[in-house]
Structure 1
């Protein structure tokens, strides 16, 4: 049985410039006292090809955690574009919000992120006109001098992927199992714990 139930994750800036920080409001319920803090992390998946491009954007310790409903704001800096392969800078990737207790991850919330260039920027560049004319054409950043300050991101907050892991809490021995569920809403991810 989980001691911490994630109730809600709200992202206040789902559509923003690529370089803007990620800002979350996290609400969770703790149903029993905890002897240690909870560690929260935000990870940007830089490439589906290899985890070596993953960037831990920030982490924070939350605690002591009282019994009841708790809420906090988590702000993490944007990923470094120089650490992302050029072929993966545009398009769809993932961010992962994770929570761990005593170094054991017990919940992971994944969101799809679409990184794109505004149509106006593409239209202002004659060398990029072909990508305006054919939106299905893939922009090869290795052949284009791109101003990364023009990159935008859109986080698909309405469709989070929530994975829960059974861990050993302070009072029990729990087997290593996981359960997946998906709860959605507009601009807010409402999540209910699975017993």
Structure 2
């Protein structure tokens, strides 16, 4: 059985401008003391066709973790726009929130993200080079995809 259970993730500042930081309020329970850190990551999927454009927006070590319930806000800057193919900026993509213990990922929470211009005219006729200051990011927070992995905790 997993020693850490993510009980809630709240997506903050959503929807928001594309260039704003990602913010997640994470609540988790720990069933016993963990002597080492949990590593949390926020990963932005830059293209559906290849992992080449995926970006780790930030990672943070939290721990050691005492038994009990814990909550924190994890914030990361928006992706480096120069690393996203222009044709993959608009439309649907994914942001992942992962957690690992001793370099073994035990949970992955994925959210669909829709990027579109706030101006309907730009959505109808998008410019060749994206205007990131005018794009809004909307994370589908109500329907995350949660994947759990069995790991050895000892």
- TM-score range, shorter-chain basis? over 0.9
More strand by share: 2
RMSD (Å) for aligned C-alpha atoms: 1.4
Offset of residue 145 of structure 1: 4.3
Partner of 1:77: 77
Offset of residue 118 of structure 1: 1.1
Q: Select 2:145's aligned residue among 155, 158, 161.
A: 161
The higher radius of gyration belongs to 1
Residue 117 to residue 169, structure 1, CA distance change in 2 (3 Å): same
Aligned residue runs from structure 1 range 143-158, under 5 A:
144-158=128-142
Partner of 2:60: 60
Task: Please state if 1:21 is matched with 2:21.
Answer: yes
List alignment gaps of at least 5 residues for structure 1: 123-127, 133-138, 171-195
Instruction: Flag as ranges the 4+ runs of structure 1 deviating above 3 A.
Output: none
Q: Distance in 1 between matches of 2:146 and 2:131?
A: 34
Q: Distance in 2 between matches of 1:162 and 1:94?
A: 13
Q: Distance in 1 between matches of 2:129 and 2:83?
A: 17
What's the TM-score once normalised by structure 2's chain length? 0.95
Offset of residue 119 of structure 1: 2.6
List alignment gaps of at least 5 residues for structure 2: none
Q: Distance in 2 between matches of 1:68 and 1:38?
A: 14
Equivalent pair of 2:96/2:108 in contact (CA under 8 Å): yes
Residue-pair matches, total:
154
Q: Distance in 2 between matches of 1:35 and 1:81?
A: 38
What's the TM-score once normalised by structure 1's chain length? 0.76
Offset of residue 146 of structure 1: 3.8
Aligned residue runs from structure 1 range 32-43, under 5 A:
32-43=32-43
Offset of residue 11 of structure 1: 1.0
1:72-128 CA-partner distances (Å, limit 9, x unpaired):
1100100011100111000000000000000000000000000000135x2xxxxx5
Q: Distance in 1 between matches of 2:53 and 2:129?
A: 22
Q: Distance in 2 between matches of 1:81 and 1:48?
A: 16
Q: Distance in 1 between matches of 2:147 and 2:82?
A: 30
